[in-house]
């Protein structure tokens, strides 16, 4: 949620937006080079096979993924496993 919009991931690969004062959820277009693949899989594979592509394809680090997971657990009310 933001001051002007609400967002949903449905399923996790598709982002939808509902503007403040509206009830209509609209898809947010995301540029994807490989539409036949699950979002991010082709990019991750490309960087694994050619590490120099990491300068052009921004991926989430493991450290960031851990932070995002903890944030999601807090948002959804799950208790973190330590």
Contact 80, 68 (CB under 8 A): no
26 with 37, same domain? no
Structural domain range at position 21: 1-30
Residues 45 and 80 in one domain: yes
Same domain, residue pair 26 and 39: no
- Domain shared by 18 and 40, yes or no: no
Q: What is the pLDDT of residues 18-44, one digit of tens each?
A: 999 999 999 888 777 777 887 778 888
Whether residues 61 and 46 fall in one domain: yes
Q: Tell me which DSSP letter residue 4 carries.
A: S
Both 55 and 41 in a single domain? Answer: yes
| Prediction pTM value | 0.48
State yes or no: pLDDT of 82 exceeds 70: no
Residues 17 and 39 in one domain: no
Tokens of 5: 């919009």
> What pLDDT is recorded for position 26?
92
Give the residue, 65 or 9, on which the prediction is more confident: 65
**In terms of domains, do 21 and 50 share one?**
no
Share above pLDDT 90 across residues of the chain, in percent, rounded to a whole number: 18
**Torsion over CA: 54, 56, 57, 59 (sign):** positive
């Amino acid at each position: 949620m933001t001051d002007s919009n609400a967002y949903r991931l449905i399923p996790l690969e598709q982002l939808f937006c509902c503007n403040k004062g509206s009830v209509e959820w609209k898809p947010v277009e995301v540029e994807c080079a490989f539409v036949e693949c699950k979002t991010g899989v082709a990019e991750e594979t490309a960087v694994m096979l050619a590490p120099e592509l990491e300068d052009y394809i921004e991926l989430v680090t493991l450290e960031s993924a851990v932070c995002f997971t903890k944030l999601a657990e807090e948002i959804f009310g799950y208790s973190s496993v330590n």
